[in-house]
Amino acid sequence: MKQASGTPAWLPFLPMDIPAGNSSAQLARSELAAGLAALASSQRVELEVKGADEGYDILLREGTLHIRGGEPGVLYGTYTLLQALARGEPAPLGNYRPRYPLRMLNHWDNMDGSVERGYAGGSLFFNNNRLAYDQARIHRYARMLASVGINAICLNNVNVRPPMDGLILPPQLDDLAGLANLLRPYGIRLLVCVDFAMPARHEPGTADPLSPQVQAWWALRAKQVYARIPDLAGFVVKADSEHRPGPHTYGRSHAQGANMLARALKPHGGLLFWRCFVYNCRQDWRDRQTDRPKAAYEHYAPLDGQFDDNVVLQIKSGPVDFQVREPVSPLLHALPQTKKALELQLAQEYTGQQIDLFYQAAQWQDIFRQLPPGGADYIAAVSNLGDDESWCGHDLALANLYAFGRTAWRGESLPGRYAMEWAALSFPEAAGEITKLLLASPHVYEKYAAPLGLGFMVNPQTHYGPSPEGYEYALWGTYHRANHEAIGIDRGPEGTNFTAQYPLHLRQRFERLTTCPDRLLLFFHRLRYDQRLADGRSLLQRIYDDHFEGAQEAEALQAAWLELAGRVPPEVHARVARRFEMQVQNAREWRDVINTYFYRKSGIPDEQGRLIHP
């Protein structure tokens, strides 16, 4: 199958075609030779390969640089060195070890070639209900991931429906093994999403996790898969979530369901990633007792200590669903005896869909600051990639993938540093300006799209563009309950008491109006429109101001981009310019719809008399 070849992303100094290598060490040697030649560097570099560690050291001995590490450590070291040289920096001497042993990208790709919440074209892997990919492009994809240390990918959508469940059965399994072989030299291991209900469609005729037939059936599946892919990292499961089947169908707990699958993987060293995105998606909007952010904690916190040691609970960063602004998920604080993976979403489902610019690292930094010491054991992110020429639909959205790799390796998000690194590699002649655009972008989007921690004011289904009551009377449990004088949900002790799920320091910070950060005010509190905020403005005036400013700032981002003509490749400039045109339109729409909505509800005009549509 012929796909677009993809841009060189942040590695323009490496040749597009990658010489084949059967091992990370071989690959490192050829990448090093090609990179040093392209950068016209006369630096002598030697690789010292020992073992299979991911860590590496970069040392200088008598004028020669040594990259010392295992496989794939030396490959990571090679990319680190080449990227530093490409930015004109001195050799990055030091010892490098990853914070998380598994740094995973979750693709939500369907086997028909579509991508759930995909904003960058079709799947890189699937077409016509089978694995079908452009090998050269997958090499470039793998190189890109390896260059920032991403070491695992889960290939298929968490919503597994037939025929996708057949991925772990022959003949698809052969194709899967072929892909695993291709990715292995890059240090990338595969995972697959499996359907909990699958044995019910095969001989066992049930998926009850306590049935010995079901257990034996999964054990056999695992054995067959591992016979072909011995280094498979494991399975990912979405169960009892948004109509996906799970152990609750059989009156069993999530621990019973997860442990059953984990035991099938255990003899092969596999991990079972069990997603915690479980809530009532058929809520009646009149029901004020059920509060969606409480759901994951209520389901999983009581099960702490009951999961096998190769079960990893995969938890979205916030308690709702990747909104522009959410507090950390309290579940990440509540499972001291359970392995946990923090799940982020690079796909910009609620943050502009790779049409609007939204650099995510600041959002992650906010989350990391609210994590308990030790945080999570693993890290994962929903992919923003597709077969589009620019990889992400928006050329600048690649900065999010880069920043995710760096964050996952270091265990901390440093927005300014990663943005500058990425921009200096990708667009060396406009790095400073592009860094500024990236860093400004989430604040601009947040201003015009999501007031003060309110979420879900988006068009239902598509999740792009404004619809203030799009989810207000829906089944998904996401309500702001705006009336003529107030908006928001009281989630403190007088309200739904969601805050009780947090450890004391966070709980107190969120419950007190004086300490709750503005950006989360309406997530935790129901406030009158005339409530005074810390800076003296009323809540409503703040909402108006943010929306007027946000739309104006979106125009400023666009203008700044247009200034860069001639300093980035012309086709990139044109593509991104088209995205900014759409973003400016979108920002205006948000400004006018949201401001009008609140004006019509409250009858309170903008203090500055700007145009609102009555």
Q: Which residues bind ligand GCV (CB under 6 A)?
A: 108, 116-117, 158-159, 238, 242, 277, 321
- Give the number of other Cβ atoms within 10 Å of residue 171's Cβ: 9
The least CB distance from residue 360 to ligand GCV, in Å, is 16
Of the residues 54, 208, 240, 349, only one is catalytic, namely 349
| Tokens describing residue 559 | 């203008």
Q: What are phi and psi of 73, to 5 degrees?
A: -50, -45
Give φ, ψ of 484 to 5 degrees. Answer: -75, -15
Q: How far is CA 431 from CA 89, 145, 437, in A?
A: 14, 21, 10
CA angle at 353 for the pair 121 and 562, rounded to the nearest 5°:
95
Q: Which is nearer to ligand GCV, 83 or 383 (CB)?
A: 383
- Note if 54 is an active site residue: no
DSSP code, position 288: -
Strands 103-109 and 64-69: unpaired
Q: How far is the CB of 516 from ligand GCV (least distance, A)?
A: 26
Closer to ligand GCV by CB, 317 or 541: give it: 317
**Structure-block tokens of residue 124:** 């890189």
C-alpha torsion sign, points 286, 291, 293, 296: negative
Least Cβ distance, residue 197 to ligand GCV (angstroms): 16
Half-sphere exposure of 71 (CA within 13 A, CB side): 13
**Alpha-helix residue ranges (DSSP H) falling in 331-473:** 361-369, 398-410, 415-426, 431-449
Q: Of 242, 485, 530, 607, which is the active-site residue?
A: 242
Which member of 291, 321, 326, 356 is catalytic? Answer: 321
Residue whose tokens read 């007027």: 548
Min. distance of Cβ 588 from ligand GCV in angstroms?
25
Q: Which two tokens stand for residue 606?
A: 């903008």
Q: Tell me if residue 298 is catalytic.
A: no
Which residues are registered as beta bridge partners of 66? 46, 59
User: What is the rounded CA–CA span in Å between residue 94 and residue 74?
Assistant: 13
Give min distance, CB of 108 to ligand GCV, in A.
5
Distance of CA 573 to the CA centre of its chain: 26
Q: Please check whether residue 538 is in contact with residue 522, taking contact to mean a CB–CB distance below 8 angstroms.
A: no
User: Can you say whether the dihedral through the CA atoms of 6, 8, 10, 15 is positive or negative?
Assistant: positive
Run of H or E including 156: strand 152-156
Is the CB of 456 or the CB of 498 nearer to ligand GCV?
456
349 is catalytic: yes
Rounded Cα distance, 456 and 320, in Å = 10
Residue 281 to residues 236, 297, 604, Cα–Cα distance (Å): 21, 16, 35
Q: Beta 271-275 vs 234-237: how paired, if at all?
A: parallel
Query: In terms of CB distance, is 32 or 158 closer to ligand GCV?
Result: 158
For ligand GCV, the closer CB: 215 or 329:
329
State the CB neighbour count (10 A cutoff) for residue 224. 14
| Nearest to 282, CA basis, from 478, 477, 475 | 475
Active site residues: 242, 321, 349
